[in-house]
Amino acid sequence: MASILDGKLIRDQILIELSPRVAALAAAGRPPQLAVILIGQNPASEVYVRNKIAACEKIGIRSRKLTPESTITTTELLALIEGLNRDPEVHGILVQLPLPLQVDAGLVLDAVTPEKDVDGFHPVNSGKLLAGAPGLRPCTPSGVMELLRRYGIPIAGRKAVIVGRSDIVGKPMAILLLAANATVTICHSKTSNLDEECRRADILVAAIGRAEMIGEAHIQPGAVVIDVGMNRVDGRLTGDVDPEAMARLSSAYTPVPGGVGPLTIAMLMSNTVQAAEGICG
């Protein structure tokens, strides 16, 4: 029977471990603070931000929520970010996506100083990831690595297949697995014989953003399946992997919800503490 990789359990472990570090920073007069910029009234974004702020409160990280008008221009948003960059009391800056269509998201994300880029999206942090240098890592991929490590799932020498090539999950996930000595294949929407490629995987990571696209034909019996997807279908949340096939064929898997999602927030907290400690490279 497949083991369930409980993201909530690992999240709680990480938050417990962060708490004394937060307390030490506060005692030294440097309480960590996360600034979150939320524009517009996207219900999903509002839920994500609420969960992030709740996690901050749980371990003593200060949070500052900024809610500019949805009509904000790129220039105005850049000025807001520059103010946060200069504020010594703010250690982490998070710009909640998606942004309004009139805003240049690329310019905005690049405007966050790398030392406060707790999402790990800045080109400087991407370069540090590629070079294996210390820096702030993208939260979802680093959360997956924590999950694998804490459940004692071996990576070195194993075949890992990632379905999805986004800058946020797919590419950094591949780099982190490669650094852990896995043999890595990245698949995407143009991959030929996707099912065959996936069936080679000892560790299969689905991050393509299409509900239950990965099914029985894609899963090697005994594989570890990490479902990064979060899709809403007919009012229910589902991942990128058929949950029945995943539970039947895998040796271990992440459920949706309750798998990777909680870890993303936990690693955001970890990045904020790391930024406050000034050990981002």
Per annotation, catalytic residue among 52, 116, 128, 171: 52
For 182-230, the pLDDT digits (tens) are: 999 999 989 999 999 999 999 999 999 999 999 999 999 999 999 999 9
Q: What is the CATH number that goes with domain 29-114? A: 3.40.50.10860
Per annotation, catalytic residue among 33, 96, 220, 274: 96
Tell me the CATH number of domain 139-261, given options 3.30.70.120, 3.40.50.720, 3.20.20.140, 3.40.50.2000.
3.40.50.720
How wide is the angle at C-alpha 195 spanned by C-alphas 191 and 196, nearest 5°? 90
How far lies 158's CA from each of 2, 24, 144, 169, 254, in Å?
Answer: 19, 39, 16, 20, 18
Per annotation, catalytic residue among 33, 116, 119, 242: 119
Whole-model pTM: value is 0.95
DSSP state of 251: S
The two tokens of residue 272 are 């904020």
Do residues 206 and 160 make contact, with C-beta atoms less than 8 angstroms apart? no
Domain-by-domain residue ranges, the chain? 29-114, 139-261
pLDDT averages per 10-residue partition of the chain, 281 residues:
96 98 97 97 89 96 97 98 98 96 96 98 96 96 98 98 97 98 96 97 97 97 97 92 98 97 97 89 47
Query: Does 96 qualify as catalytic in the annotation?
Result: yes
- Match 């996690």 to its residue by tokens: 55
